[in-house]
Structure 1
Amino acid sequence: MKIGIGNDHSAVEMKKNISVYLKELGHEVINYGTDSSESCNYPVYGEKVAAAVQDGEVDCGVLICGTGVGISLAANKVRGIRAVVCSEPCSARLSKEHNNTNILAFGARIVGIEMAKMIVDAWLEAEFQGGRHADRVNMVMDIENRKGNAIE
């Protein structure tokens, strides 16, 4: 699988560790993040990975900032993206099974490297269950596609 990875300055080391781990698992990893510890803006990297997923350059994405929240919010502004921030494996697995998430995010200041690997494993090993979940994902995507926010 081809995985895009992005990060801000707070997550350079974790990004490096997770990139190596993903490669050890046999995945191709494309780096869209910074390799500098100088302060930078996480929305830039959230958007880069989300655009790569949207355009089909990569199959899915992993985003890391201090908490995972900001970078996932930025990614979710890109049409077709369902990014989730997780701090433990169960939510990561369920986000894929029930919500068909295409980007996983977590925080370098929140989880350690071993927990991050467990989160990644749970998310990558999970499969979308479809069925009633597909109906709900379609409802979420319909919200994105409406011109306004009013319920019809």
Structure 2
Amino acid sequence: MDFIERNEIFMDNEGMIRRVMRRNWALICAMRLDWDDVYQELAMAALSAIETFDPTRSECIQAHIWMKLQYAVLTIKRQHRPCGLTGFGNRERPVVVSLDQSEGMDRFLAAEPKKETVELSSAMRQALSRLDEEERRAVIRYLDDQESKRERTVKAAL
């Protein structure tokens, strides 16, 4: 297979990389990985999948690329796992991973990013001003609950 054909196949299936990234959004955020780095790793996995595709073993190159991308996500997860106390699992005592892997530990020890302050649009301010105090509190409680659901999803992925 020449590189022009390989590049055409890659461009036809590039959307798969973004689908895999969206599907693993919580994991990527929980591990605080850079989106561009993850995209690059998955793109390299897709190119490798195209190079190693054997039409005698399978008819569908898309399925081959998809599976290679799934394995690439697992490899990324394994390479970037945090060190330290990992939990109880089925054992009586927690498992402790050595902290000798100090290379890149600042990524895991960094403070949590501050929540962004959102500037309300004039339409939103006008809509909130028409609500009485109790309704306004209910809307804010609902929005805070949505934010906490996202945080729980990220924590569960981590």
TM-score by length of 2: 0.24
Structure of higher RCO (CA pairs closer than 8 Å, 6+ residues apart): 2
Larger Rg: 2
More helix by share: 2
TM-score by length of 1: 0.24
